[in-house]
Amino acid sequence: MIVSDIPVCPENIVGETAKIKVEGYRFVTLTCVELDETRVDVLYHFDRDYQMKHLRMTVLKDTPIPSISPVYFAAFLVENEIQDLFGIRFQGLAIDYDRTLYLAEDVKAAPFCKYVVLKTSATLNTPGENPS
């Protein structure tokens, strides 16, 4: 299996995804990994004839990411899931559940994030801190 990892940014993710589709790659899935209090890695996984291609994007949690669902429609589901579980946002989703894909209350707090940044009127707090 041949694997390639290509760094991308929000400005070129849709274009790079379109190139990969023209090359005949199928969309496999996305994964998201929290790096620290402010950043996540979003990895896009593609396959063609047992050759994997991965696009890697490191972004701030409050940076909206362009959706690739206009290129690969099936991506809308996992992008919505990442919105629910990590609290980051995708812009231009083919179908946007607006963080309600999972209807449980505890999901609203981005449960897959160890570091959750909560905005209050004057301060930023992490879970367990008492907002003053």
Predicted pLDDT at 107: 53
Non-local CB neighbours of 16 within 8 Å, separated by 6+ positions: 6, 8, 55
Mean pLDDT over each residue of the chain, to the nearest integer: 83
Protein fold of 2-125: Beta Polymerase; domain 2 (3.30.460)
Give the model confidence (pLDDT) of 84-131 as tens digits.
Answer: 888 899 999 999 888 777 666 555 566 566 665 554 544 444 445 544
The predicted model gives 17-43 an average pLDDT of 95
27-36, 61-70, 116-125 — which is least confidently predicted? Answer: 116-125
- In this prediction the pTM is 0.77
Quick one: tokens of 10? 């929000």
Give the model confidence (pLDDT) of 73-85 as tens digits.
Answer: 999 999 999 998 8
The predicted model gives 13-25 an average pLDDT of 97
**What percent of the chain shows pLDDT beyond 70?**
74
11-25, 46-60, 73-87, 92-106 — which is least confidently predicted? Answer: 92-106
Which of 26, 30, 31 shows the shortest CA–CA distance to 46?
Answer: 26
Q: Where are the domains of the chain?
A: 2-125
Alpha helices in 1-132 (DSSP H): 13-22, 75-86
Predicted pLDDT at 90: 96
